Homo-oligomer: A and B are copies of this chain.
Amino acid sequence: METEQKQVLAIPGKNDYSEASRQDRLAYIQKQNAVAASRIGNTSLEAESMRGYIENFIGAVQIPVGLAGPLLFDGENAQGLITAPFATTEGALVASACRGSRLLTAAGGVATQVISENVHRAPSFNCESLQDAVRLKNFIEQHTPTIQAMVRQASKYAVLLEIVPVVHGRTLHAIMHFETGDAAGQNMVTVVADHLSRELIKLAEAQLGLIIRSFQIEGGMNGDKKVNFYSFIKGRGVRVAAECTIPDSVFLEQFRLDPNAFYEHYQRGVAASSLVGGMGVNVNIANAIAALFVATGQDVASVHESSIGYLQIERESDGLYCCLTLPSLLIGTVGGGTSLPTQNEALNLLDCAGAGKKARLAEIIAGFCLALDLSTWSAIAAHTFTDAHKRLGRR
């Protein structure tokens, strides 16, 4: 492999966002692979506008968009009938979300509510001993108000809610929880936490005489792009829930399924989820989350950490109480891909573009996740799941 390695030809136009360098890259990839990227290259996105979104830009893929809904909301931030653009390539998904929307709408609509919000970054500080790590922990606990004041000075948007200091050996992890305004906020909390960490080190060295051997902006207790129980328990991004009580008559009429059979099936599914070591309970909320994330310019990688949820269903004497909680929805209505042309349009269709709309977007996502999950779960219980996928998921 020595020889081959010497011939490595770098991708042209590094750090160059011009149309000319885009054309160079299209030529490069065609030469490398003997395949033209003509369809990807044929895009209305302008190379010059891609700074901040992507490097080595060559074009775009097109993801089909379909309409799901209308779904009636009675939420804190989302009200009335809402029809949502779903971007997906998986047949049956939009149809199923529509079916669930009809159920919830017929039941009087879905009540949605944001429960809390935080994005965390967890710098780590490597001390000389366990004892020193404990001292730093105590110091942070005592100086939290001071550190919160630093954040107010350093950032227009970030608010430091809490620092959770965790001692592990001689390392102190400081999990810093922030509110991040309208942005998803991963970059924002990185910049602020970096600043805080450096200030904290100065303080601890000056006031405690502690020697911090090294620090990292992220010691690994963060949940960025990762699923973990800390985020599940504590929340990450927006924690939001969607609730609806479905009268038995409405359930039967809309889904042609005995609510008792449905409930029994759900109940066994709850156990099954635990038996496989799952986190929470749901059938397929990831489908709705991915479809709405792609459509609205969210960080698609965050589908990983965001698609955790717990669907609670309780049997009432004459209906089904349903509430879906999404504990870690990483979303923004400004920043990232939200300002790209088609994505911004999708946000506008939902009245979710720009400032002050994050909670509304979270509630809309939660509502459609509930609609989809009830539809899928009932299709399984009613033995129509396989046929629906045969009919709509194949070509």
Contacts and interface: CB of A to CB of B under 8 A. Distances in A.
**What is the interface residue range for chain A against chain B?**
35 or more
Interface stretch (A128-136, A151-159, A354-362): A128-136
Nearest to A70: B8
Nearest to A121: B386
Given A11-B67, A218-B385, A229-B276, 18 more contacts: A4-B72, A53-B89, A113-B134, A130-B241, A169-B314, A173-B275, A190-B385, A191-B389, A217-B380, A218-B283, A220-B272, A225-B284, A227-B227, A228-B279, A233-B275, A274-B280, A289-B304, A294-B300
A170 B314 CA distance: 10
Given A229-B277, A380-B218, A4 B342 contact: no
B386 A191 contact: yes
B243 A277 contact: no
Q: Say whether chain A's binding surface is mostly helix, strand, loop, or mixed.
A: mixed
Nearest to A92: B55
B59 A65 contact: yes
Interface string A333-350: 000110111110110111
A307 B109 CA distance: 34
Nearest to A9: B70
A208 interface: no
Interface in A1-60: 1, 4-5, 7-11, 14, 25, 28-29, 32-33, 35, 37-40, 42-45, 50-60
